[in-house]
Amino acid sequence: MNKRIAVLPGDGIGPEVTAVAVQVLKKIGEVFDHQFTFEEGLVGAIAIDETGNPFPDETLQLCQSADAILFGAIGHPKYDNDPTAPVRPEQGLLAMRKALGLYANIRPVNTFKALADASPLKREIVEGVDFVVFRELTGGSYFGKKGRSDDRLSAYDTCTYTHDEIYRITKLAFEAAAKRRKKVTLVDKANVMETSRLWREVVQKYAAEHPEIELELMFVDNAAMALIQNPRRFDVILTENMFGDILTDEASVITGSLGMLPSASVGNQVALYEPIHGSYPQAAGQNIANPMAAVLSAATLLETSFNLMAEGKIIRHAVEEALNFGYVTKDINPDKFMSTTEVGQKICDFI
Ligand code: IPM
Ligand code: MG
């Protein structure tokens, strides 16, 4: 198979973990005789430094002409601590999601046997957890009208959703549930927010037409609690942009490390794959970051964009073997750990 992959390493630990994911894809290419070509593009703080724009046109064109996108992370502390910065790296990520129409962010949460004791939650709570979050990615308060009053003493972020924005991701979530345990939990704040009431209307109507899938409705505050009390109760979680952002960081704790969670962002054209962790600037350049979320994102890329199921499975198996042998980074075992590149090499050896 011949495929072009756009690689956007981004900021912080992004370049280090993405390099491992590319190494793994090259290894798969060798073993299975696929021709993957990789082309790098700029995004985030590094793109601001080099071009003044966090998502340059060149990067957009690279993404649009690629068969899939592998993305690292975005963000830099020099912007986090400056609320008046005129351009921010995160704008690059949001612009990219919008421009590529990546409206659904799919974040699977499963526990690995070898990591059951790495979670701060009790083993009996985290064992066997297997759910997936469908987070809406191009609407809500992330993209609504925002601003300040003239005297700058008040500010607003508007949360807006349309029927169609809700419908298209609802359809994806229900299709995923049909292949899983046939349950969708809609997480919202319908007791307070009008947008949430629209979500309920659209999703309930869709559910009535798909009676084979059970629909559960849950307020987000309650869901935050249920996620750590009884995460096994969830199969597919469907939610809006901001709630999904917050709940998936919370959910990552179940697996033992934020460094384990991959994600896929899909829309109508090319799809993007990225670890859910951020740029972790404190660890940048030290060769200590966990590359597994990036590697699992690469596995998801092969499965979802190229339908290479056997290849994806081998990568997942190789990651599990690395975990079983204790070939892990510091976040997972602070007493006995390897570097980012060593873990990457072990995964390639297993492949
Ligand atoms: C994520 C991140 C981003 C988000 C940030 C970096 C803008 O937290 O992908 O979850 O909030 O969507
Ligand atoms: Mg987030």
- 156-191 per-position pLDDT tens digit: 999 999 999 999 999 999 999 999 999 999 999 999
User: What is the reported pLDDT for 84?
Assistant: 85
User: What is the reported pLDDT for 149?
Assistant: 97
Q: With beta carbons less than 8 A apart as the criterion, state whether 97 and 137 touch.
A: yes
Pocket mutation for ligand 1, best pick of 11, 79, 80, 93 (most atoms within 8 Å of C-beta): 93
Predicted TM-score of the model (pTM): 0.94
- Chain mean position to CA 170: 18
Marked catalytic residue, from 245, 273, 280, 330? 245
Beta-carbon contacts of residue 106 (< 8 Å; ≥ 6 apart):
132, 133, 134, 135, 172, 176, 263, 264, 265, 266
Distance of alpha carbon 285 from alpha carbon 245, whole angstroms:
26
Distance of alpha carbon 43 from alpha carbon 272, whole angstroms:
13
Residues within a 6 A CB radius of ligand 1: 74-75, 90, 93, 245, 276, 278
Q: Which domains does the chain have, with CATH numbers?
A: 1-103+262-351 (3.40.718.10), 119-255 (3.40.718.10)
**Distance (Å) of CA 60 to CA 68, 69, 94, 97, 103:** 13, 11, 12, 10, 16
DSSP letter, residue 125 = H
Short-list 232, 231, 261, 229, CA closest to 245:
261
Short-list 301, 252, 241, CA closest to 278:
252
Q: What is the mean pLDDT of residues 68-91?
A: 91
**Is pLDDT above 90 for 265?**
yes
**Is pLDDT above 90 for 290?**
yes
3-state SS of 26-89 is HHHHHHHCCEEEEEECCCCHHHHHHHCCCCCHHHHHHHHHCCEEEEEECCCHHHHCCCCCCCCH
**Is pLDDT above 90 for 215?**
yes
